[in-house]
Amino acid sequence: MNGVTSSILCAVTILLHLADGDIYLHNPRGSNNRLDESSRARANGNNIFDSQNNERGGYNVGSLFYYQGSTLSVEWTNQHSCHDTNNHCELVLQYMCHDNIRDGVSTQTIPTNPALCANYNCDLDRKYRMHEDSSHYFQCLYRQRNKGIFTADQNMNNRERARNTRQNPAGTRRGYECPEERDYYPYWHPSPWVDIAVMTNDVSRCHYYRNESQNVKSKWDCVFPKAVMDKFKVNRVNVQLPNNEEDCKKFELPAKIKSDIRKPQWVEFPAHGVAAPDCRETDFTRDNHLGNGIGGYPNMFNWTIPNNVEHENCILRIRYNISTSDYDGWTANSSFNANPRRRNDGAKVPLADRFGFESEEIAKERGYIFKNNPVVNVFDGLDLDLRLAVNTAQFGRTFQDRSHTFAIRKRPDWLQGQTVHNLNVRGKRGNIVQVYPAVEYDFVPNDLEVAVGDYVHMQWTGSNTNPRNNDGQGLAGTDRNNLILLTAQKFAEGSGTADYRGAKHGHYGTNYPMRAENSTFLGLSQEDALTLAFLDPGQFRGEVSELDDAGTYFNLSPRKTTSAGTYQYMCTRNNNFSNRDQKGRVVVNASPFKREAIGQMGGEVALDNGAARMSVEENTFSSLKNVRLEKWSVSEGEAAMSRVNRALGAGDDYASDFVVLQPENLIEEGDDDKFFTLRIQLSDDSDDVDVYYAPSDFSAWSKADAHVGGGVATVRAQHGGVYVARSKSNVGMIVGVVIACVVVVVIVSGAVFYFRRNPTKWQAVKTNCRNAERSMKNKV
Ligand SMILES: *[C@@H]1O[C@H](CO)[C@@H](O)[C@H](O)[C@H]1NC(C)=O
Ligand SMILES: *[C@@H]1O[C@H](CO)[C@@H](O)[C@H](O)[C@H]1NC(C)=O
Ligand SMILES: *[C@@H]1O[C@H](CO)[C@@H](O)[C@H](O)[C@H]1NC(C)=O
Ligand SMILES: *[C@@H]1O[C@H](CO)[C@@H](O)[C@H](O)[C@H]1NC(C)=O
Ligand SMILES: *[C@@H]1O[C@H](CO)[C@@H](O)[C@H](O)[C@H]1NC(C)=O
Ligand SMILES: *[C@@H]1O[C@H](CO)[C@@H](O)[C@H](O)[C@H]1NC(C)=O
């Protein structure tokens, strides 16, 4: 090998320099800076925020409205993994609402020069999309950046404002977003964004996030009145507003600016005054696999739409922050920065120890330097080098997507106090190659489980300006959706476990819909079924076989589910077996249930009306669990037991409903000293009650560790499974009577089946037995 070409340069991809698809919001639809353009690539990546995403991502439109307190399954895909060993990852979900927030009608970036806007006021010029307002941006533009921050070996010379960051050293502008605010969370200056949730690989930071969130903590900034700020630009002066109280109080305007007000004020911006954000573990995704999480479904966060907000113009924001373990992003600070005059020597991030070099000097000689594109000598003594694709601006990088505007509306009276689930459509017209990194059509949540009596709010939207050659049925370029019931699965058999829905086998009525006269969807009326099929009213006659004449937007106001069952459905227009599949499922559960993601930070899941509540203290669970709490009536519980030929021998009579907690495995092995609390409402105030526990297959009942008082049993528990309270017998006579009743009810062959179908009869027998018990008791 000759000396001149002794280096073989080989790019080892650690992080690609080109953005190649990173976080995409699918429900609500993320814009990725798109606004109805018909081109495959978005028109302007700097339109309103810095996404760092691939230009092909995003949806053209996406405005829907949600009722206060309803559940919205926020779905996204992220590309570079989460909850995996290959990076540190945070997902930060926020929203904001304001009268001036708008999607606009142009893909041009909103100007900063008021002369370019209608009435000399860009904040009010509805031509341009606006999220944050101009004062947010101008504060950022003129404020000194946080000099304590790690900027690695990036060129920060004369880049001194909050718009210059390690990830955006040149301070490129996107809308009125502030780069420093974007790159860092929780931010130390005011931000209009209200925090919803932080999901992180490192929940030990949760207290910090929750404390520092502007939801609960006021923030400060050094401000001049707008009229004074406007002069900075006109005078082209290099004003640098201090970012701390001390300097702010000392600051005075340079002499060449004429102004009556010469000193800024250090102003407190109040907290948003809402609860601190949820903070929990992230879900697993593999890197370089933009797609689904474990189990094949997209990762999601079920957002309860805030009850205290009523607004027509809101935006949802998701940030995806990944950092490498090559340095500690959370402790590295400016003392690690490269010498500004010798940036090629790299940042002062120690690498020697980690790779077993005797000193940093020796590590440096071998090319182990924290800087852009280092060339490393891996094989000692061999003159062969490898070039690493390192970009310190992206070695720790935040991606982002934001929704189109949506509304949060007050509930009408008839919806007060009800549980409301949003059911929407994601995806856009085209095959997977044409739409990627967006997705093909699908319903969201694809697999929705509700309880009988819950409301489902079906609503979707789409665009008429998809690329005209994208595959799909109906008029070129258009999105349309409908919802039609499929037939039941062919082979259905209860497995007899506590999951009383049972195991089902075989396919649903595949690609032909169910005859409408034989069916109901969720118990809805035939009229609703017609509306869902033809998107009518909204369109009177016209071409409806492929819905071409219907609009892109559809809303069936919330409907009450009245009929338990599993409903598999499809969209007749878009479903095209072997090309595209648009099917979904709603399970209407006969019994009430609630679900909550609970991890190391603890949490609570409670059934309505206090029937049962599970509370988990911090540091009880060692990983995130999707906890589901369900209530069965006594007859349902008995039926489930009888299906596997099990019975609960202990105790006399039921003193509560059956409470079913899933998953079974809640406390990890080795955490035997940890417990959570399960509170079960009892049928009366009697203290003579024991709580029994069985795994979901009822294989063995045992007495739970419960404290009883005031009509409530408080169980110290470690397992998911089935819990039920039974009254204790103190008197032989009572036992006799109760056993007699139980014998009559249970032993008679076929009785359980009978009572399962006729629960009121069972209730009657039970009440008689209870009355018998009471009357005996009274006599004692
Ligand atoms: C940087 O971090 C080190 C320790 O990690 C600390 O001692 C030092 O005070 C920090 N410097 C700044 C400027 O924050
Ligand atoms: C991203 O992580 C870095 C640490 O690597 C942290 O300093 C920054 O605040 C985080 N930003 C966001 C938006 O989460
Ligand atoms: C959060 O705030 C609480 C209450 O003020 C305080 O006790 C705790 O130390 C703080 N934790 C962190 C990590 O900042
Ligand atoms: C969110 O809601 C969907 C739809 O009901 C459900 O399938 C999913 O399990 C829920 N996830 C959590 C963590 O509650
Ligand atoms: C189904 O989709 C394929 C691919 O887009 C298309 O060629 C075919 O015509 C579609 N089928 C019908 C009946 O429209
Ligand atoms: C469907 O409905 C028709 C007419 O109402 C009835 O004759 C038929 O038996 C039903 N089929 C099923 C499978 O229920």
Summarize pLDDT for 450-472 with one digit per residue, the tens. 999 999 999 999 999 999 999 99
Question: pLDDT category, 765, cuts 50, 70, 90?
Answer: very low
Q: pLDDT, tens digit, for every residue of 156-166?
A: 999 999 999 99
DSSP 626: E
Spatial contact of 445 and 73, defined as CB atoms under 8 Å apart: yes
Ligand nearest to the CA of 210: 3
Q: Which ligand is nearest to the CA of 209?
A: 3
Choice from 595, 598, 604, 621 to test ligand 4 binding pocket (greatest atom count within 8 A of CB): 595
**Interval between CA 215 and ligand 3 midpoint (Å):** 15
Higher local confidence (pLDDT), 505 or 114? 114
CATH domain 411-589 topology: Immunoglobulin-like (2.60.40)
- Is 488 touching ligand 6 by the criterion CB < 6 Å? no
Report the pLDDT averaged over residues 553-562: 96
Mutate to test the pocket of ligand 2, among 51, 184, 282 (most ligand atoms within 8 A of CB): 184
Q: How far is CA 140 from CA 121, 143, 145, 317, 723, in A?
A: 19, 5, 8, 19, 56
- How far, in Å, is the centroid of ligand 5 from the Cα of 292? 26
Pocket of ligand 2 (CB under 6 A): 90, 92, 183-185, 319, 321, 323, 329-330, 396, 398
Atom of ligand 3 nearest to the CA of 212: 14
> Residue range 467-488: average pLDDT?
94
Q: What is the pLDDT of residue 766?
A: 44
CA dist list (Å): 445 to 69, 224, 682: 17, 47, 35
In CATH, the architecture of 600-727 is Sandwich (2.60)
The reply to whether ligand 5 has any atom less than 6 angstroms from the CB of 478 is no
Burial status of residue 177 (CB atoms within 10 A of its CB: 0-12, 13-18, 19 or more)? buried
Using pLDDT thresholds of 50, 70 and 90, give the confidence band for residue 13: very low
List the one residue out of 642, 507, 627 whose CA is nearest residue 566.
507
| pLDDT tens string 42-55 | 999 999 999 999 99
Q: What is the DSSP letter of 654?
A: B
Q: Is 333 in the pocket of ligand 1 (CB under 6 A)?
A: yes
Looking at per-residue pLDDT, the higher value among 303 and 14 belongs to: 303
**Token code pair at residue 165:** 């960051």
The β-bridge relationship of strands 65-67 and 406-409 is: parallel
Mean pLDDT of 752-779: 38
> What is the CA 17 to chain-centroid distance, rounded?
28
Ligand (nearest to CA of 469): 5
- Distance in angstroms (rounded) separating the CA atoms of residues 385 and 378: 7
Centre of ligand 3 to C-alpha 245, Å, is 23
- Residue 747 predicted with pLDDT over 70: no
Per the listing, tokens 């701390």 go with 244
Q: Which of 490, 518, 520 to mutate to test the pocket of ligand 6 (most atoms within 8 A of CB)?
A: 518
The predicted-structure confidence for 56-71, as pLDDT tens digits, reads as follows 999 999 999 999 999 9
Structure tokens at 241: 């507003």
Average pLDDT estimate for 469-476: 96
* Amino acid symbol at 209: Y
Q: Nearest ligand, CA of residue 276?
A: 3
Residue 611 has a pLDDT of 95
Closest residue by Cα to atom 13, ligand 1, is 148
pLDDT value for 649? 85
CA-proximal residue: ligand 1, atom 2 (nearest): 333
- Per-residue confidence (pLDDT) for residue 510, from 0 to 100: 76
Residue (of 444, 445, 532) closest to 485 by Cα position: 532
**Measured in angstroms, how far is the CA atom of residue 576 from the centroid of ligand 5?**
7
186 lines ligand 3 (CB under 6 A): no
Longest CA–CA separation in the chain, Å:
108
What's the CA gap between 344 and 235, in Å, rounded?
37
C-beta atoms surrounding 526 within 10 Å: 12
In the predicted structure, residue 15 carries a pLDDT above the cut 80: no
Q: What is the mean pLDDT of residues 221-240?
A: 86
Q: How many CA atoms lie within 13 A of 701 on its CB side?
A: 17
CA 518 to ligand 6 centroid distance, Å? 6
Shortest CA distance to 1 belongs to which of 572, 383, 523?
383
Helices 634-643 and 759-779, packing angle to 10 deg: 110
φ and ψ at residue 5, rounded to 5 degrees: -105, 40
HSE toward the beta carbon, residue 375, CA cutoff 13 A: 9
Which one is predicted more confidently, 678 or 233?
678
Residue range 264-306, pLDDT digits in tens? 999 999 999 999 999 999 999 999 889 899 988 899 999 999 9
Calpha distance 568→517 (Å, rounded) = 16
Cα distances (angstroms) measured from residue 681 to each of 254, 418, 715, 764, 765: 70, 21, 11, 21, 22
**Closest listed residue to residue 463, CA positions, set 435, 483, 497:** 435
Q: What is the mean pLDDT of residues 222-233?
A: 89
Comparing CA positions, the residue from 428, 427, 515 lying closest to residue 478 is 428
Could you give the angle at the alpha carbon of 656 between the alpha carbons of 653 and 658, nearest 5°?
105
Residues whose CB falls within 8 Å of the CB of residue 389, separated by 6 or more in sequence, listed in order: 11, 12, 13, 14, 15, 16, 17, 373
pLDDT tens for each residue of 142-158: 999 999 999 999 999 99
Nearest residue (by CA) to ligand 6, atom 6, is 518
Give the other-Cβ count within 10 Å of 108's Cβ.
16
Ordered by start, the domain boundaries in the chain are: 5-326+397-402, 411-589, 600-727, 733-778
Task: Report pLDDT for 768.
Answer: 42
Say yes or no: CB of residue 216 within 6 Å of ligand 3.
Answer: no
CA distances to 290, 403, 444 from 285, in Å: 8, 22, 19
CA distance 659 to 637: 9
Distant-in-sequence, close-in-space partners of 686: CB < 8 Å, separation ≥ 6: 655, 727
CA atoms of 121 and 11, how far apart (whole Å): 49
Residue 261 CB neighbour total at 10 angstroms: 11
Ligand 1 neighbour 335 (Cβ under 6 A): yes
Length of the chain: 780
Asked if residues 570 and 482 have their Cβ atoms less than 8 Å apart, the reply is no
pLDDT grade, residue 237 (50/70/90)?
confident
SS3 state of residue 484: strand
| pLDDT value at residue 383 | 87
Predicted local confidence at residue 20, as pLDDT: 53
Ligand 6 contact via 517 beta carbon (within 6 Å): yes
- Smallest-distance ligand from the CA of 206: 3
Q: Is the peptide bond before 663 cis (omega within 30 degrees of 0)?
A: yes
Query: Which residue has its alpha carbon closest to ligand 1 atom 1?
Result: 333
**Is residue 579 within 6 Å of ligand 5 at its C-beta?**
yes
Which residue puts its alpha carbon closest to atom 10 of ligand 6?
518
Percent of the chain with pLDDT over 70: 88
Gap between the Cα atoms of 133 and 97, Å rounded: 12
Sheet holding 712-717, edge to edge: 603-606, 612-616, 676-681, 712-717, 705-709
Q: What is the Cα–Cα distance from 767 to 49, expressed in whole angstroms?
A: 64
State the distance from the centre of ligand 2 to the C-alpha of 81, rounded, in angstroms.
16
* Cα–Cα dist 236/141, whole Å: 13
Mean pLDDT confidence for 343-348:
94
204, 211, 279: residue to mutate for ligand 3 pocket, most atoms within 8 A of CB: 211
What 3 state SS string does 219-246 have?
EEEEECCHHHHHHHHHHCCCCCECCCHH
Residue 756 has what pLDDT? Answer: 40
Looking from the CA of residue 334, the nearest atom of ligand 1 is 13
Query: Rounded to 10 degrees, what is the CA torsion of 720, 725, 730, 735?
Result: -100
Strand duo 504-505 + 491-492: pairing: antiparallel
Scanning the structure block, which residue is given the tokens 């709010």? 457
Structural tokens at position 215: 């939801």
Ligand 4 contact via 574 beta carbon (within 6 Å): no
Q: Which ligand 3 atom minimizes the distance to the CA of 205?
A: 13
Query: Mean pLDDT over all residues of the chain?
Result: 88
Angle at 344 between CA 338 and CA 348, to 5 degrees: 30
pLDDT at residue 565 tops 60: yes
Residue 489: pLDDT band with limits 50, 70, 90: low
pLDDT value at residue 504: 55
Higher pLDDT, 256 or 177: 177
